[in-house]
């Protein structure tokens, strides 16, 4: 069984060691595995090279599309395990794209990495099968709000949000580009009983100046509503680049 991975350069899978930049694990040294393909299409997605391939007409703020062959590589699971183990980290963050689209291969991978803590980043629309779920230590669930451009019936699946809210391993991260978008977050929090201690607000932005400008009002919102603010540490350290 193979994984379909994103690439850093053509033919080179995006597997690397770095610091987790977002959410409850921010600042921790980790191994990253970025998988390709996504079932949603966020207008502001900063990893559009995982899904916005030539011929894909779903909207994105950047009209450019990506050549699939150069930006997607098939990797046998034993080789993926070998590359991850060589990074000598205790925690693996599986990100995307949407990793749970590749649940069967993902299950095979993580069963072969028994000594690693497994963290999965997901848009929250797909149910993880038991073979994956039993090995996961943390889910970073990022439901997409209306400003992402995704229809609510695709991006905000009520039974899935209820499930994540009830799972103590699941931490919610909502991306905001304007203060008014908080109202949608608070409505979702009430509707699905999302605990405040597992709810993070994060500014949308792919450069430090934009993040700092938006964090000025985001910090005030977090204080007023007793929510947690997430930075994007990797952007400040490395910029908006692959493999970081």
Residue 131: its pLDDT value, please? 97
Domain annotation covers residue 53 = yes
Helix or strand or coil: residue 243?
coil
The Cβ of residue 26 has, within 10 Å, a number of other Cβ atoms equal to 15
Q: Considering the chain, what is the average pLDDT of its residues?
A: 97
**For the chain, how many structural domains are there in total?**
1
Name residues whose C-beta falls within 8 Å of residue 223's C-beta, 6 or more positions apart in sequence.
Answer: none
- pLDDT value at residue 192: 98
Range 86-108 average pLDDT: 98
Judge whether 68 lies within some domain.
yes
Q: Does residue 42 sit within a domain?
A: yes
For residues 60 and 41, is the Cβ–Cβ distance under 8 A? yes
Q: Tell me, yes or no, whether 226 lies in a domain.
A: yes
Alpha helices for 56-120 (secondary structure H): 68-71, 77-86, 103-111
Q: Is residue 230 part of a domain?
A: yes
pLDDT of residue 2 exceeding 90: yes
- Domain hosting 113: range is 2-238
d(CA 159, CA 19): 32
Q: What is the model's pTM?
A: 0.97
The CATH number linked to 133 is 3.20.20.70
Span 17-44, average pLDDT: 98
> Would residue 244 count as lying in a domain?
no
pLDDT tens digits, one per residue of 32-76: 999 999 999 999 999 999 999 999 989 899 988 999 999 999 999
Bridge partners of residue 32, in order along the sequence: 16, 93
Is the pLDDT at 1 greater than 90, yes or no? no
**Does residue 243 sit within a domain?**
no
Q: Which helix (H) or strand (E) holds 187?
A: helix 182-192
> What confidence tier does 224 reach under pLDDT thresholds 50, 70, 90?
very high
Could you give the count of Cα atoms lying within 13 Å of 81 in the half-sphere of its Cβ?
A: 17
């Amino acid at each position: 069984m193979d994984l379909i991975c994103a690439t850093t350069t053509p033919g080179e899978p995006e597997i690397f060691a770095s610091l987790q930049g977002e959410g409850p694990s921010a600042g921790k040294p980790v191994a990253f595995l970025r998988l390709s393909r996504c079932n949603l299409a966020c207008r502001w997605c900063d990893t559009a090279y995982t899904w916005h391939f030539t011929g894909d007409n779903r909207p994105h703020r950047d009209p450019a599309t990506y050549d699939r062959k150069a930006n997607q590589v098939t990797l046998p699971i034993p080789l993926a395990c070998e590359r991850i183990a060589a990074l000598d980290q205790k925690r693996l963050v599986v990100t995307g794209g949407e990793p749970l689209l590749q649940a069967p291969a993902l299950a095979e991978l993580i069963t072969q990495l028994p000594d690693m803590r497994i963290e999965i980043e997901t848009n929250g629309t797909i149910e993880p099968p038991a073979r994956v779920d039993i090995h996961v230590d943390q889910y970073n669930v990022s439901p997409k709000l209306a400003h992402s451009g995704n229809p609510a019936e695709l991006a905000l699946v009520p039974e899935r949000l209820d499930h994540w809210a009830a799972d103590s391993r699941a931490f919610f991260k909502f991306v905001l580009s304007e203060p008014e978008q908080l109202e949608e977050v608070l409505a979702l929090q009430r509707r699905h009983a999302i605990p405040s201690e597992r709810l993070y607000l994060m500014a949308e932005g792919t450069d430090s100046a934009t993040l700092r400008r938006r964090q000025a009002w985001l910090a005030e919102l977090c204080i007023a509503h007793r929510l947690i603010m997430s930075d994007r540490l990797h952007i400040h350290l490395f910029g908006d680049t692959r493999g970081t």
